[in-house]
Amino acid sequence: MPVSFSVGSWIVAKVSIPIAGPLDLKGTLAPLRGTFRGDGWWYTARTEDGPATLKVTRTREDLEGEAWGDGAASLLDRLGAIAGLTDDPAGFTTGHGVVSGLHRRNPGLRFGATGDVLANLIVAIVSQKVTGTEASRAISGLRKQFSDPAPGPIPGLRLPPDPERIAVSRYFDFHELHLEKKRADTLIAAARHAARVDSLAQRSSTDAERFLLTLPGVGPWTVAETLVRSHGDPDQVSVGDYHVKNLVVHHLTGRSRGTDEEMLGLLEEFRPHRGRVVRLLHKLGHAPKFGPRSTPRNITRM
């Protein structure tokens, strides 16, 4: 149970959880879109009890969380899941030489589950079919225009975008944030279903996927990018990603290029751990790159 107390105007809560089994904390938290600092990993969220900021650290035996804001205790209730303690990588076994070797050398690489479905869906929508540079620029703009400073001691940390503000916005509010009309319309539609989307954290990944695919502009890639983080689903595969299909095909066949269909065929034997295999294959590096690199567009000039 979190221990809560007040420091100045902030509600602060702390909790310590014993770590059972190997845990690569940095590798587990890295995909979850928090911020690594010298004193720990920092994450912000809009919880059912209000905004919160979480700092995660560890000792040799314990996982330690400290949180600020009205939602501090609520966010700390998710600490074990966020850090991957509810994931069981030992439950995955395979006779595949390449994959089994990677799995054996990385026993602490787990899948964290933030429980923040809408926040991850928003980032996934913004990241649809653009370069990493374009996505980062748009996400930064969203946080500046549709968010607020996060509670706690770190200046500059901001909460995820406020869905209520997004839901009542129009396309021109997003144009200067480097978002074209298609992604802007998808964001607005998702924000208008905010309560239903966030309630999916209490449902299975399969149920969540089924609902998310009914939202306009949301496809399999966006769903996978959301649920691998919100639910920590180790079977999610980002179909439609420019790089992932080549990564999988290259490391499992030796060929430098592949298709989504080939990737899914190669990964089928690893169900329900296909996403875990993809994450392990990332340890071997990218597939060889050929041709010109994509150039970031400036949406504001269109």
What domains are defined for the chain? 3-87 (3.30.1370), 117-200 (1.10.340.30)
Question: Helix, strand, or coil here: 4?
Answer: strand
Angle at 295 between CA 279 and CA 173, to 5 degrees: 90
Q: What is the 3-state secondary structure (H, E, C) of 95-160?
A: CCHHHHHHHHHCCCCCCCCCCCHHHHHHHHHHCCCCCHHHHHHHHHHHHHHHCCECCCCCCCCECC
Residue 47 CA to residue 194 CA, distance in Å, equals: 12
Write down the pTM of the prediction.
0.91
User: Residue 156: its pLDDT value, please?
Assistant: 92
CA atoms of 214 and 257, how far apart (whole Å): 31
DSSP class of residue 254? S
- pLDDT reported for residue 132: 84
Q: Are 296 and 254 in contact (CB under 8 A)?
A: no
Specify the pLDDT at position 295.
52
Regions of the chain where pLDDT drops below 50: none
